[in-house]
């Protein structure tokens, strides 16, 4: 295959990949965003919406409409298309004989030892292409999650370090309601096998993805049932409960504020066994 034939095949391949991506983005994804917004779409889209809202508070997630998600998806679509075309242009450039000669000359000029030059030339073009392909896979695999904000193992956009923590942080916690209305904070031993922090994250997702009382009522009722079952079995020493409250507790992150005392405590949902949730 001559260099010109290879360049033509590369252009056709990149063009076909770009066209396939646009068809997938506009024909398959865009029409299904509304159902995915409600958690009823294809699993891939449901996961994408979940990832985008996972670390937002309920108010921030609820404020996002379907149109906003559509606009976000359009941005992702064009970013990925740009990456495909850019990678294709780079591959086309480095495959040209004149560019290869310049690369060989540059490697020979900057090599510090004749043995290094001889070893590089002994590798051969097929093995060098294999190395270049591995580099492209690693670079493109890293660009995909960075562009979309969705993790695809083993590549990640390192969400922990991808943003700046705001001036406040909000976490969700469960409190039990005792017989006379007193509240007791529930710890991990009361809600096993759940972890208190992870359970709070899941309940926050409920609020962001599916506004309404039904899921909260079912979830808190299940946790209360498990609590009472373990209490009767002697698995913990908690008091009898007639209900549960879910609070969103906010702390202000500042050296001047004592983190032992939260800034606000918002009642998210109240569940009582003998009455409807309020």
Q: Where are the domains of the chain?
A: 3-160, 168-272
pLDDT band at 245 (very low <50, low <70, confident <90, very high): very high
Rounded to whole angstroms, how far apart are CA atoms 18 and 22? 6
Across the range 175-196, mean pLDDT stands at: 86
Q: What percent of the chain has pLDDT over 70?
A: 70
pLDDT in tens, 50-64: 655 544 434 344 345
pLDDT, residue 9, reads: 84
**Cα–Cα separations (whole angstroms), residue 277 to 52, 76, 106, 228, 269:** 29, 40, 73, 19, 8
**pTM as predicted:** 0.46
Angle between helices 66-94 and 97-110 (to 10 degrees): 80
Residue scoring higher pLDDT (3 or 154): 154
- Locate 120 and state its tokens: 């590089």
Q: In terms of C-beta density within 10 A (0-12 exposed, 13-18 middle, 19 or more buried), how is residue 172 classed? A: buried
* pLDDT for res 218: 85
Closest CA to 247 of 180, 188, 189, 183: 183
| pLDDT(116) > 60 | no
Q: Is residue 8 helix, strand or coil? A: helix
User: Could you tell me what percent of the chain has a pLDDT over 90?
Assistant: 7
78 pLDDT above the threshold of 60 = yes
- The distance between the two most distant Cα atoms of the chain, rounded to a whole number of Å, is 87
Query: Within a 10 A sphere around the Cβ of 73, how many other Cβ atoms?
Result: 21
CA distance 30 to 44: 13
More confident residue, 148 or 217: 217
φ, ψ for residue 106, nearest 5 deg = -65, -40
Q: What is the pLDDT of residue 243?
A: 92
Supply the mean pLDDT for the chain.
Answer: 76
pLDDT level of residue 41 (50, 70, 90 thresholds)? low
Which tokens sit at 254?
């500042």
DSSP 1: -
What pLDDT does residue 45 have?
64
Question: Between 238 and 125, where is the model more confident?
Answer: 238
- Taking the CA of residue 190 as centre, how many other CA atoms within 13 Å lie in the half-sphere pointing to its CB? 20
- Checking if the pLDDT of 129 tops 70, the result is yes
pLDDT at 247 over 50: yes
| DSSP of 78-99 | HHHHHHHHHHHHHHHHHTSHHH
How many residues comprise the chain? 278
Name, in order, each residue with C-beta under 8 angstroms of 108's C-beta and a sequence gap of 6 or more.
Answer: 117
Position with higher pLDDT, 12 vs 142:
12
Spatial CB neighbours of 272, under 8 Å, sequence gap ≥ 6: 177, 242, 243
Does residue 56 or residue 207 have the better pLDDT?
Answer: 207
């Amino acid at each position: 295959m001559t260099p010109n034939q290879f360049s033509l095949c590369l252009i056709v391949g990149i063009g076909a990949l770009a066209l396939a991506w646009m068809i997938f983005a506009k024909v398959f994804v865009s029409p299904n965003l509304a159902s995915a917004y409600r958690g009823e779409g294809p699993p891939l889209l449901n996961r994408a919406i979940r990832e985008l809202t996972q670390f937002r508070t309920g108010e921030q997630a609820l404020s996002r409409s379907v149109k906003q998600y559509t606009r976000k998806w359009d941005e992702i679509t064009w970013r990925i298309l740009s990456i495909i075309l850019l990678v294709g242009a780079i591959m086309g450039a480095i495959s040209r004989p004149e560019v290869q000669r310049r690369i060989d000359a540059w490697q020979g000029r900057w090599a510090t030892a004749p043995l290094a030059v001889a070893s590089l030339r002994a590798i051969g073009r097929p093995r060098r292409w294999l190395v270049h392909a591995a580099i492209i896979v690693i670079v493109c695999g890293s660009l995909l999650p960075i562009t979309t904000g969705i993790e695809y193992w083993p590549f990640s956009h390192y969400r922990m370090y991808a943003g700046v923590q705001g001036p406040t942080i909000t976490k969700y916690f469960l409190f039990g309601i005792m017989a006379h209305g007193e509240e007791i904070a529930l710890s991990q031993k009361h809600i096993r096998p759940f972890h208190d922090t992870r359970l709070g994250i899941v309940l926050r997702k409920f609020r962001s993805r599916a506004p309404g009382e039904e899921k909260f009522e079912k979830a808190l009722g299940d946790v209360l049932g498990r609590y009472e079952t373990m209490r009767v079995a002697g698995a913990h020493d908690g008091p009898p409960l007639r209900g549960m409250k879910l609070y969103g507790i906010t702390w202000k992150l500042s050296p001047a504020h004592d983190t032992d005392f939260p800034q606000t405590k918002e009642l998210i949902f109240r569940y009582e066994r003998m009455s409807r949730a309020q």
